[in-house]
Amino acid sequence: MIFDAIKIFFSHRKQTIKSIPNSVLPEKYRGVPEITSDGLSSEQLKELQQLCPTSAIEVKPFSLDMGKCLFCGECEKCFPNNIHFTNQWKIWAFERKQLIVHANEKWHAPEPANPVTLLNKTIRMRQLCAGGDMGCELELGASSNVNFDMERFGMSFTASPRHAEAMVLTGPITKNMSFAAESTFSAIADPKLLILSGTDAISGGMFVDSPDIDRSFLDRHKPDLYIAGSPAHPLNIISSIASLTGRTL
Amino acid sequence: MYRDNFYIVPDGVRAIPFENIPELTFKDFASCAVEALDDDTKDNVPLAYFQSEGKFFIVLFDYSTGNFLLTSSKSPKKVINSLGVDAYYQFERDIYERSKVSINNHPYLKPLRRPCSNNSVFDFETSTNVSLHEVNVGPVHAGIIEPGQFRFTCNGEQVLSVEICLGFQRRGIEQLIVDSSSNRKRMLLAEQISGDSVVANTIAMSNILEGQLDANQYQLIFHERALALEMERLAMHFADLAALAGDCAYYLGQIAIEPLRTTIINSLQLWCGSRSGRSLVRPSGSFYRLSLDEIDVVTNNINNVKKLFSDISSNLLSSPSLLSRLDGKCQLSQHSVKAFALRGTISKASNQPRDIRISSYSQVPYKNFTVQKLSKGDLLSRLKIRIMEVNQSIDIVLEFLNTIKSIWYETSKFPVYDSSLPKSSLILSPVEGFRGTILHVALSDQNSTLADYRIFDPSMMAWPVLAYAMKNQQISDFPVCNKSFNLSYLANDL
């Protein structure tokens, strides 16, 4: 019995990703887009704008909002000369407007924040799902599995908000969860941080006009970190949270 | 004979004109709906019972022959009688919630989803017996999972009853699908119905939007979809097995199975750029094709997973502490699976094999496919059935990869988003997701526009059964019992 268990340990080997920042995702992965309006007539621009299911594309000036983007790649397939999703997976921001990609500019994730002194490089988080579609939740769970292993960087999820310094919110915030979101956040001791993960949480995504959504929670509390993606990749989750604690990963 | 009152849909047909569906009086409708379930020579399971445009529809699926049975009734009244059997109670709660049609003689007439209002309270049953105590769990749970509220009434550590209140995940997705201005938006909404069944839900919606395609012309696309569906099943079964092992404090199982899921979803990422299979399925075409190089990489990955999983699964099933933790707990008999009209993994573990992949509704042939089943229906059976399904899916995946390689060609078809639906029809689209048969139902009007859209997931039927299985069990068994069902909150609340 014990020998079988040891055999499994050896046959499975160590599978943890050694270097998070140097990880390269496959070519088809849709990360930070590069956009240009060159060669597009005003009608084509309008068509491109209307094609986007979440209205992430603005025409004047030509820009793409990664907080609204579903990274579905529909626009890239219809206008391959103007929009290209690179496999750059580092997509986060400390301010909402930093998530906007402008035409003919290369977008970079912001430099690490000034370390929040109370954190001392470790952070414990309480996750709250408020209408999230399980995509983001599975990826947050995957961040602490043996492959990504976020706990080696001093980050972990905790069950009680009393033990947490931050709340990670996923989902567009349904009406039925707006009360729970408020009370969970208020149960975390001050000073505390609010992290939004995924397009649904950042902008409401495709549900922004649904009558069953109530996003007033975000009018009362300002997020400290936006992790973009639909859903956000575990590499992105780990790097962005490290960035919030003043580190580069 | 009840069959005269139903329209029996011919093999593989999805769109049924309204004029073909019999319209009965509500009394006949109710009696034939119950009679159909009593027929022991068939395996009729209600997949949907709903009200749309002033009409009631019942959709049964006969798993023994693989045919849909349809019937309808016009009911002008604001009060109807309950059909009086467990299999329809959840649907009746849904009808009551949506249309405020009052239902007589229903044993538990509460809305299926908690009303969307900040000051609404869900009226939990309470006991006046002072020796009992109540335990509330949720809506916010301890782990990274979806919200839902459970109220246990316990005598010491023994659970006497559980009441489940859902609706916290309600986003109104069905209405958004109907209101969408384009089929592109509808496909993207289908991807967000449930993030763990992305491929299953997108296949179901594609089948509705694209109509009946020529099987020869689209053979490759159909195989790719079926391959992605099996990979999703593998990934989610691995997630469930890892979670179950973790809950029994068998951490070797948990840490050894988790990376197998990573391998599978990273293969999906290599294929379509998304770990959950988003943007992979599109109507009448596809953006992301599997190249020949990728086929080799994925085949290699799956072979590796197969080898590693056989070690760990035999270790899992020879661990005495794990077996004694799960054996005989939270048992579900074949009789109750039939009564509650369950399908998928839960029913397979209770000797009732129900799977739509063997019917004419699967677009690719599954060679030598038999639906797995176990007889005991306890926690251990629900773990074992997943192991059996994983082994089966691995073989199917390898077979499909071979088939795709042999029929592979380079040109890819651009998806078609402007196809129109057939006029005045009910369109059924079943897909075997990892939990069981998911059914999408679309209703079109005489202008071929989408009038209504409904999604029926196996979870909706199984939630009350979780409460039923917990009766007289230890409260400490709840987490592992809940994981063995692994029901979707989203697919209930939508």
Q: Is A2 on the interface with B (CB under 8 A)?
A: no
What is the C-alpha separation between B33 and A169, in angstroms, rounded? 44
The predicted pLDDT at position A116 comes to 65
Nearest of A79, A86, A78, A69 to residue A38 by alpha carbon? A79
Q: Are residues B84 and B210 in the same domain?
A: no
Q: Are residues B91 and B217 in the same domain?
A: no
Contact B144 A176 (CB under 8 A): no
**Burial (CB count <10 Å: 0-12, 13-18, 19+), residue B404:** buried
Chain A residues within an 8 Å CB radius of B239: 138
Last-in-domain residue among B75, B104, B133? B104
Chain A residues within an 8 Å CB radius of B168: 130-131, 174, 176-177, 180
Cα four-point dihedral sign B381, B382, B383, B389 = positive
Q: Which two tokens stand for residue B425?
A: 């029809």
Specify the DSSP element, H or E, that contains B15.
Answer: strand B15-17
Q: Is A174 on the interface with B (CB under 8 A)?
A: yes
CB distance A180 to A132 below 8 Å: no
Contact A138 B239 (CB under 8 A): yes
Neighbours of B30 (CB within 10 A): 20
The residue of chain B with its CA nearest to that of A17 is B259
Q: Is residue B467 part of a domain?
A: no
Neighbours of A158 (CB within 10 A): 15
Contact A133 B490 (CB under 8 A): yes
The predicted pLDDT at position A115 comes to 65
Q: Strand B55-62 vs strand B67-74: parallel, antiparallel, or unpaired?
A: antiparallel
Instruction: Give the mutation candidate from B122, B140, B305 for the A interface (greatest A CB count, under 10 A).
Output: B140
Chain A residues within an 8 Å CB radius of B192: 133, 135, 200, 205-206
Q: Which residues of B334-348 are buried (b: 16+ CB within 10 A; e: fewer)?
A: eebbbebbbbbbbbb
Q: Is A25 on the interface with B (CB under 8 A)?
A: yes
Q: Which two tokens stand for residue B44?
A: 């009729």
Contact A205 B256 (CB under 8 A): no
Q: Is B424 on the interface with A (CB under 8 A)?
A: no
CB distance A139 to B275 below 8 Å: yes
Pairs across A and B, CB distance < 8 A: 178
Residue count (chain B): 494
B170 closest CB neighbour out of A53, A160, A176: A176
* Residues 67 through 126 of chain A touching chain B, CB cutoff 8 Å: 70-74, 77, 85
The predicted pLDDT at position B212 comes to 82
How many domains does chain B contain in total?
2
Chain A residues within an 8 Å CB radius of B271: 28
| Distance spanning both ends of chain A, measured CA to CA | 40
Q: Is residue B431 part of a domain?
A: no
Helix (H, G, I), strand (E, B) or coil at A146: coil
Helix (H, G, I), strand (E, B) or coil at B148: coil
B172 closest CB neighbour out of A85, A138, A212: A212
Neighbours of B308 (CB within 10 A): 19
Q: Is residue B242 part of a domain?
A: yes
Q: What angle do CA B417, B225, B257 make, to 5 degrees?
A: 135
Contact B144 A127 (CB under 8 A): yes
Neighbours of B174 (CB within 10 A): 18
What is the C-alpha separation between B401 and B425, in angstroms, rounded? 36
B279 closest CB neighbour out of A72, A175, A178: A72
The residue of chain A with its CA nearest to that of B179 is A210
Contact A4 B318 (CB under 8 A): yes
Nearest of B323, B305, B298 to residue B256 by alpha carbon? B305
CB distance B357 to B366 below 8 Å: yes
DSSP state letter for A213: B
Q: Is residue B370 part of a domain?
A: no
Q: Are residues B406 and B258 in the same domain?
A: yes
Q: Is B119 on the interface with A (CB under 8 A)?
A: no
Which residue range is the domain that position B304 belongs to?
Answer: 203-330+378-417
Q: Which residues of B200-234 are buried (b: 16+ CB within 10 A; e: fewer)?
A: bbbbbbbbbbbbebeeeebbbbbbbbbbbbbbbbb
What is the C-alpha separation between B296 and B404, in angstroms, rounded? 11
Q: Is residue B11 part of a domain?
A: yes
* Residues 286 through 305 of chain B touching chain A, CB cutoff 8 Å: 287-288
Q: Which two tokens stand for residue B370?
A: 């038999």
pLDDT truncated to tens, each residue of chain B (494 aa)?
888 889 999 888 889 999 999 988 888 888 999 989 988 888 999 999 998 888 899 999 999 998 999 999 987 678 888 888 989 999 998 988 888 788 888 888 888 887 765 556 677 888 888 888 888 887 888 888 889 889 999 998 999 999 998 889 989 899 999 998 889 999 999 999 998 999 999 999 999 998 888 878 888 899 999 999 999 999 999 999 999 998 888 888 888 999 999 999 999 999 999 999 999 999 988 889 888 999 999 999 999 999 999 988 888 888 888 888 888 888 888 999 989 999 989 999 999 999 999 888 888 888 888 888 888 889 999 999 999 999 999 999 999 999 998 988 878 888 888 888 899 999 999 999 999 999 999 999 999 899 999 999 999 999 999 999 888 888 888 888 888 998 999 988 88
* Residues 214 through 253 of chain B touching chain A, CB cutoff 8 Å: 239, 252
Domains of chain A: 33-102 (3.30.70.3270), 123-244 (3.40.50.12280)
Chain B residues within an 8 Å CB radius of A71: 274, 278
CB distance B263 to B301 below 8 Å: yes
Instruction: Give the mutation candidate from A16, A133, A136, A233 for the B interface (greatest B CB count, under 10 A).
Output: A133
The predicted pLDDT at position A197 comes to 94
CB distance A56 to A186 below 8 Å: no
Read out DSSP for B292-357?
Answer: HHHHHHHHHHHHHHHHHHHHHHHHHTT-HHHHHHHTTSS---HHHHHHTT--SHHHHHTT----GG
Q: Are residues B208 and B79 in the same domain?
A: no
The predicted pLDDT at position B119 comes to 58
**Burial (CB count <10 Å: 0-12, 13-18, 19+), residue A96:** middle
Mean pLDDT, range A35-60, rounded to an integer: 88
pLDDT classification of A118: cutoffs 50, 70, 90 = low
Contact A147 B262 (CB under 8 A): yes
Residue A48 has pLDDT above 70, yes or no: yes
Q: Are residues B412 and B267 in the same domain?
A: yes
Residue B75, φ and ψ in degrees, nearest 5: -130, 105
Nearest of A119, B7, A37, A144 to residue A46 by alpha carbon? A37
Residue A114 has pLDDT above 80, yes or no: no
Neighbours of B292 (CB within 10 A): 10
Cα four-point dihedral sign B166, B172, B178, B181 = negative
What is the C-alpha separation between A1 and A7, in angstroms, rounded? 10
Measure in Å the smallest separation between the Cα of B27 and chain A Cα atoms.
35
Q: Strand B23-24 vs strand A166-170: parallel, antiparallel, or unpaired?
A: unpaired
Q: Are residues B248 and B393 in the same domain?
A: yes
CB distance B51 to B43 below 8 Å: no
Contact A129 B145 (CB under 8 A): yes
- Whether the complex's predicted ipTM is more than 0.95 is answered with no
Contact B175 A128 (CB under 8 A): no
Chain B residues within an 8 Å CB radius of A210: 171-173, 175-176
What is the C-alpha separation between B254 and B245, in angstroms, rounded? 5
CB distance B338 to B433 below 8 Å: no
What is the C-alpha separation between A37 and A63, in angstroms, rounded? 9
Q: Is residue B231 part of a domain?
A: yes
CB distance A196 to A226 below 8 Å: yes
Mean pLDDT, range A174-199, rounded to an integer: 91
Q: What angle do CA A74, A76, A77 make, to 5 degrees?
A: 65
Q: Is residue B400 part of a domain?
A: yes
What is the C-alpha separation between A83 and B385, in angstroms, rounded? 46
Contacts of B326 (CB under 8 A, 6+ apart): B248, B378, B379, B380, B383, B480
Cross-strand bridge partners of residue A157: A125
Last-in-domain residue among B85, B104, B123? B104
Chain B residues within an 8 Å CB radius of A214: 118
Q: Is residue B87 part of a domain?
A: yes
Instruction: Give the mutation candidate from A8, A29, A176, A197 for the B interface (greatest B CB count, under 10 A).
Output: A176
Instruction: Give the mutation candidate from A8, A134, A200, A217 for the B interface (greatest B CB count, under 10 A).
Output: A134
B276 closest CB neighbour out of A1, A135, A207: A135
Residue with the larger pLDDT of the pair B50 and A4: B50
Strand positions, DSSP E, B337-469: 425-432, 437-444, 450-456
B171 closest CB neighbour out of A26, A71, A172: A172
Measure in Å the smallest separation between the Cα of B199 and chain A Cα atoms.
12
Cis peptide before B139 (omega within 30 of 0): yes
Q: Are residues B391 and B280 in the same domain?
A: yes
CB distance B394 to B233 below 8 Å: no
The residue of chain B with its CA nearest to that of A175 is B116
Alpha helices in chain A (DSSP H): 2-12, 42-51, 74-78, 135-143, 175-186, 199-203, 217-220, 234-244
